[in-house]
Structures are given as structure tokens and as C-alpha cells.
A and B are shown apart, each in its own frame.
Chain A
Amino acid sequence: MKKLLAVLLASLLVLALGACSSGSDTASTDATSSSSDNVIRIGVYEPASGDNGAGGKQETLGIQYANSVAPTVEVGGTTYDVELVIVDNESSNDKGPTAAASLVSSGVSIALGSYGSGVSIAASDVFGNAGIPVIGVTCTNPQVTEGNSHYFRICFLDPFQGTVLANFAAENFQAKTAYSLAKLGDDYSVGLCNYFNQAFEALGGTVIYETFPEGNSDFTSYLTTAANSGADVFFAPVSTEAAALIINQAAGQGWSKPILAGDTWDSNVITSAATGTDVQIYVTTFFHEGDTSEKGTAFVTGFKEWLNANPNMLTNNGGNDMVSAVSAMGYDAYFTALEAIKNAGSPEPAAVMEALWDTTYDGVCGNIVFDDVNGDAVRDVAFVKQVNTESGNWDFIAIQGIS
């Protein structure tokens, strides 16, 4: 009898769930239908916690700043308010899809994100099944856009970035041996190391490749292995969280060779960890704060003002007003999305997706044009920057392409 009661209760619960949710659901659709005249929702699918939390927050800041600059968009003669719907994907491939589902259920026209390739790949199908287009901001792994028509991307790709870094190591440091370190199960670092290793070996060098498991905080053994192998460069395109530990321990162990990394390291987490030490850190990235073009300076001054006016935002940026490349990319992504919505002439996801293929936008990080195979931005140069360990700023080194 008790079992019967239990089954009864269970089904009652499900019914209640259904009833209450269909209630709230109609409420929310009401809201959209009544306000669909003047609100367009843009989803922000970014990590705010976990390994990539720091970078994700900075990317979100760029998007929020862009939203404060252009809070409305005019489509087909009507002015719409643009509302950001921000979710935290926790930098985790298993939490990501649910976060994406909550974006889908809040009725976004387009989504932006994510910092970190793994979460982007993991949530891709959720957006794809719902027919919602996504603009990848700084997810550089080729698999994000490969074989689908809804995921676009405005940054360069890892095969390009890996080759640039390998060339840079071989040309500038005459490196013969490289040590590359990736995090187990992280698509970004595993992918980028893989392309770097290929390119470096093609240049005639040797590579020692290792991975570290999640939750590892002891990098001294890896540094020792690198030293024992006689590596000329240490390549570690990992999350900023691990990066801070690596820099700290490299300084403690007196590591004197150059450390190379990809775009994730372009963050004030890295500069603050490296300041006052002797480590040399070089990164490839999308944007340089000292950019003297009109667009660049306007963005940098505007963004700094905005940050300094909002204490919360300043905290999210890591406590100071240094402009990260990911913020600039977030800013560009937002305007690219607006451009696509304008071109589509409607906030319908399907129309926006269609329009994205032909959308172009001249952003602070350069001109954005999507290729017609995967929807990747056409980019052929990267900035190389070095940490100035005295001032704690980035020094511009070179603009590097692949020949």
C-alpha cells in the first residue's frame, strides 16, 4: 500500500511540476510576446567560476560594456532594447549544456561565447537543436565550428596560433627543443599543444609533451622534467588559474628560459603573477592595449572609464583597469551580433543565423568576415606580447603571421 502511495505522490509531484511550470512558462511567453515589439535578448554563455572564470568574466565585461554603449538596435524601422541574458557555464563540460538550455528557454535570438573551447563544443548541440546561432568569441579549437552551421567564430584558430608560436620560438629563440604542457581533458590546451608540436617538429625541432590532471597544483615536477630535457622554451597554453601557479613556481625554481602561451594568458592574472620575478613570458593574442588606431584608443579609454565607474565590474576585471584582449573580442562579438540582427531584419534566430554568413564588421580587433565553410572569421595575423615584469604591463613585441 505504501508503494502505491509513493507512486501516487511521485506522479502528483510531476503533475505539480508540470502545472506550475506551464504556468510560469505561459507567463514568460506572455512576457516575450507582449515585449517582443521592443526587446531582443542576447545570450551570454560564459564561465564565471571554475578554471576559466577569470577570463570568462573579462569577456563578459567586454560584452556588457558594448551593451552599455549600444543598448538599443534599430531593425526594420523599430527600435529594440537589447537585453543580455548571462549564464555561468562553470567552465565545466557537464554543467555547460544545462546552462545553455536555460539560455534557450529564455528565448534568446543569438548567443555569444564561450571563453574555453571545451564548453563551447559541449553546448553546441543544445544551441544547434534549438536553431539558435552562436558567435564563438575566443574559443580557438577548430572543432567548435567544424561540421555545423550554427556556430560562428570571430577569433583565429589553433592550427594558425600553434604555427605562429612554433615559428616565433624557432625564429626568436633558435629553439631546438620545446617542452609543451597541456591539461588532461581540456580541448583548448590539448588542441593547441598538438598543433604547436606538429608545427615545431615540422621546423626540425624536438618536443617533449606532457599533461597534468585536473586539480593539480604542483608544477615543480613538470618544470624539473622540462629542465632535465634541455628544453629551450616552455609552452603551456593552459588556463590562467594553472598559469599563475606555473609562473610562481617557475620563479621559485629559477626557471630562466622563455615561457610561451596562447591567447588565454593575455590577462592581468598573468601580469600580476609575473611582476617582480625574472620569468620571460610571451603570448599570442588578438588585441593590444597600446593600439593607436582611432577605434582602439576610443575603446580602451571608454572601457576604462566604464570599469572605473563600476566597482563591481572593476572587481570582475581582476581589480585593475587593464584591458584584456578577450574584453575587446567580447565587445566586437556584441556588435557583430547586432550587425547580423540588423541584416536579418528580425530577431528570429533562424533569420539571424542566415544573415550571419554575410555579416561583416570592422571591429577594434580588426575586420571580421566569416568564411563560407565553417563560419570562421578570416584572420591571418596575431599580436605577440611580452610581460614587462617591472611595470606589470604588456610590451608589444611583433605582429606575426605565417608565411
Chain B
Amino acid sequence: MKKKTANLISLGLVAGLFLVLFLLEQVMDPASMLFVVLKKGAIYALVAVSMNLLNGFTGLFSLGQAGFMLIGAYAYGILTIPPEARDAVYQYFDGGIIQFALPVPLALIIAGLAAAFFAFLIGLPVLRLKSDYLAIATLGFAEIIRAFFQWDALGPITNGSNLLRRFPTFSSVIFPFFVAGLCIAIIVLLVNSSYGRAFKAIRDDEVAAEAMGINLFKHKQMAFVISSFFAGVSGALLAMYQTTVQASAFKSAMTYEILLIVVIGGIGSISGSCIASFLFIACNEWWLRFLDNELFIGTWQVPLLRTGFRKVVFSIIIMAVVLFYRQGIMGDR
């Protein structure tokens, strides 16, 4: 009974959230930075939660997230550019070899599946490694994927190292919230299922988990593939948000950013990852931007403020969280 009311209340809250978003879009200037933060924040929330599923719930320290986002973003871009725009986009490759466009929802799912498929292949060898070796191997794979997608020989498909653009994008903030929300809801259901309990058992004690009859490799592989699926979807969303996509953007620095979001939100907390990603994006793109501009009060110039100061302040805040506030916003460990 109690659970039912709780479910009802959360459902109501979600409906309320979308209503608020809808109203905001009606009344506010669409160019406001708020919408930038909401869109990008929703996308980062999804990828942070997907990383948390691995790092927080299964205890697999993987640093390959940017690589899987790249696969998702490219899969989406390649499959949805309208044929009439392909000549302009693939200008060095005679319009490329793919001459059709899929509908957006289908392309989003394929983006996820493509990332999941690569994760499956990569997982076969890599998941036998432990902790930091796994981290560095997945990081390496992300770099290899990036080089591969920039390879000229694949140009007719990937457009080499050049931008992909002119694919369908979204303008309303409702869309990323809906897709990311749906995906996060699925992850929450998964975490609360018996699979989720198995993941947590692996995280807490591998040997004990194995003794309890949990197939270690199968479950690790599963967490890795599912996490990559959602990373792929978020990559596709990111491509839509940016309106262009290019392999060189998906560097290891991107993975680090996502990891820091997970840490700030609290390792093993889904709500924490969501909140942290909005905070992270808002601080980084919006609230702290004033630190980058020279400011004069009368004739007195406020010291230190100039290009780059925003990032220094920001990284000091992050270090403070990492050192003194280790459980993050919502973490319980």
C-alpha cells in the first residue's frame, strides 16, 4: 500500500516536472542559458547514470564512456542525415555510401545498440582485468575507437575526421528530458531487480558473490553492455544537442568530466548523478562564466579575473569535494 502511494507521488512529480518544463518554454526567452543547461544537463545525467551503473553499482572502474558516446553519436549521425544533404556533408567522399535516412527514434535505439555491440566485443577480453588495469584498458579502447573513426579509409561511412552535420536535432527541452528520463527509469528498474542485486554483490565482494552462484563474467559483461547502450544513446542526444559531431571531441577529458560528475553526485547514487550533472553543467557553462571576464568596479580592476579563471575555481571546488566530501551529494558510503 505504502509503496503504491510512493509510486503515485513520484509519478505525479515527474508529470509536474514536465509541466513545469513546458510552462518555462512558453513563458521564457528560448535563448536563455537555462535551456542550454537543462538540455545538456539531461544528456550528461544519462551518461553519468550509465557510468554509475558500472562504477558505482558493479564496481567496475571503466573509463571508456567517451568512446561509447562517440559510437552512439556517429551511428545516429550517419543514419539520419537526409540523403539530399549528404553531398554537402560528405564533400570529400562523393556523398558517402549510405544513401538513406532512418527515423529519429529508430536511429537512437540503433545508436545504443551499436555502442552495446562494441562493448560486448571489447568486454570479452577486458573484463577479465581488475580495477586500475580495467580502467586503463577501457581508456585505451576509447582512444583506439577515436582513431578508428577518424581513419580516412572509412571516410565514405564516417566522413573521416570531418564534421557530421545536418542531421535532425531537437529544439525543445522536453525531448532530451523525455529520452534521458525514460532511460534512467529503465536503469533504476534494473538496479532494483535481481540483476541489480547481483551487481552490488559483485561490487561488495567478488569472491563471496561467486560462491553464492553469481556468474561473475556474465554479470560484468551484462553491466558493461547495458551501461554502454545508454552511453551510446546519450552520445546520440549530445550529437543532436550540438547539431554537429566530430570524433576529436570525444577525448578522455570527457570521460574524466563524467567521472567527476559521478563522484560529486555520490558513487552509487542515481539521483546524486542527476543532480550533480545539472549543477556541473550550470556552474561550468553559466554561473561561473562571469569569472572569465575582466571586471572593473569604478577604475579598480578585480584581480585574478581573466580567461580560464572559471576553470581554476571549478577544479578547486571539485578537488575539495573529492578530498573532504567523499560521499558526494547523495552518496551513502
**Residues of chain A having any CB pair with chain B under 8 Å:** 1, 3-4, 6-11, 13-15, 17-18, 21-22, 25, 29, 48-49, 86, 88, 92-94, 97-98, 101-102, 104-105, 107, 118, 121-122, 125-126, 129-130, 143, 146-147, 184-187, 190, 194, 211, 213-214
- The CA of A15 and the CA of B275, in the complex, are separated in Å by 12
Q: Is the beta-carbon distance between B248 and A11 smaller than 8 angstroms?
A: no
Chain B residues within an 8 Å CB radius of A213: 147, 150
Chain A residues within an 8 Å CB radius of B34: 17-18, 21-22, 25
Q: Is the beta-carbon distance between B165 and A102 smaller than 8 angstroms?
A: no
Given A125-B165, A130-B31, A185-B248, 19 more A-B residue pairs with CB atoms under 8 Å apart are A4-B6, A13-B279, A14-B38, A14-B278, A17-B34, A18-B20, A25-B29, A49-B308, A86-B293, A93-B242, A93-B246, A101-B33, A102-B289, A105-B33, A122-B163, A146-B88, A147-B88, A185-B150, A214-B251
B166 nearest CB across to chain A (Å): 8
- The CA of A146 and the CA of B6, in the complex, are separated in Å by 54
Q: Is the beta-carbon distance between A13 and B13 smaller than 8 angstroms?
A: no
B318 nearest CB across to chain A (Å): 18
Q: Is B36 at the interface (CB under 8 A from chain A)?
A: yes
Q: Is the beta-carbon distance between A125 and B243 smaller than 8 angstroms?
A: yes
Q: Is B131 at the interface (CB under 8 A from chain A)?
A: no
With A25-B28, A118-B163, A185-B248 given, is the CB distance from A7 to B10 under 8 Å? Answer: yes
- The CA of A84 and the CA of B329, in the complex, are separated in Å by 39
Q: List which B240-258 residues lie within 8 A (CB) of chain A.
A: 241-244, 246-249, 251
Chain B residues within an 8 Å CB radius of A29: 29
Q: Is the interface of B mostly helix, strand, loop or mixed?
A: helix
Q: Is B17 at the interface (CB under 8 A from chain A)?
A: yes
B183 nearest CB across to chain A (Å): 15
Among A6, A48, A121, A143, contact of B307 (Cβ-Cβ < 8 Å)? A48
Q: Is the beta-carbon distance between B33 and A102 smaller than 8 angstroms?
A: yes
Q: Is B169 at the interface (CB under 8 A from chain A)?
A: yes
Q: Is the beta-carbon distance between A13 and B37 smaller than 8 angstroms?
A: no
- The CA of A4 and the CA of B274, in the complex, are separated in Å by 14
Chain A residues within an 8 Å CB radius of B38: 14, 17
Sample 27 A-B pairs with CB under 8 A, ordered by A number.
A3-B271, A4-B9, A6-B271, A6-B272, A13-B278, A13-B279, A18-B24, A25-B34, A49-B308, A88-B307, A93-B246, A93-B248, A94-B249, A97-B241, A97-B242, A97-B243, A97-B244, A101-B33, A101-B36, A104-B31, A105-B33, A118-B163, A125-B243, A126-B243, A185-B162, A185-B246, A214-B248
- The CA of A14 and the CA of B37, in the complex, are separated in Å by 10
B297 nearest CB across to chain A (Å): 17
Number of interface residues of B (CB under 8 A): 62
Chain A residues within an 8 Å CB radius of B299: none
With A7-B13, A185-B150, A185-B161 given, is the CB distance from A92 to B249 under 8 Å? Answer: yes
Q: Is the beta-carbon distance between A122 and B91 smaller than 8 angstroms?
A: no
Q: Is the beta-carbon distance between A121 and B275 smaller than 8 angstroms?
A: no
Q: Is B330 at the interface (CB under 8 A from chain A)?
A: yes
A114 nearest CB across to chain B (Å): 14
A102 nearest CB across to chain B (Å): 6
Q: Is the beta-carbon distance between B169 and A125 smaller than 8 angstroms?
A: yes
Contact with A along B261-280 (1 / 0, CB 8 A): 00000000111101100110
Q: Is B292 at the interface (CB under 8 A from chain A)?
A: yes
Chain A residues within an 8 Å CB radius of B292: 88
A245 nearest CB across to chain B (Å): 18
With A1-B6, A3-B271 given, is the CB distance from A122 to B161 under 8 Å? Answer: no
Q: List which B18-60 residues lie within 8 A (CB) of chain A.
A: 20-21, 24, 27-34, 36-38, 40
Among B91, B270, B282, contact of A143 (Cβ-Cβ < 8 Å)? B91
Chain A residues within an 8 Å CB radius of B289: 102
Chain A residues within an 8 Å CB radius of B162: 185, 187, 190
Q: Is the beta-carbon distance between A10 and B29 smaller than 8 angstroms?
A: no
Chain B residues within an 8 Å CB radius of A187: 162-163
B263 nearest CB across to chain A (Å): 17
A37 nearest CB across to chain B (Å): 20
What residue of chain A has the Cβ atom nearest to residue B244's Cβ? Answer: A122
B12 nearest CB across to chain A (Å): 10
- The CA of A6 and the CA of B278, in the complex, are separated in Å by 14
- The CA of A187 and the CA of B89, in the complex, are separated in Å by 12
Q: List which B219-258 residues lie within 8 A (CB) of chain A.
A: 241-244, 246-249, 251
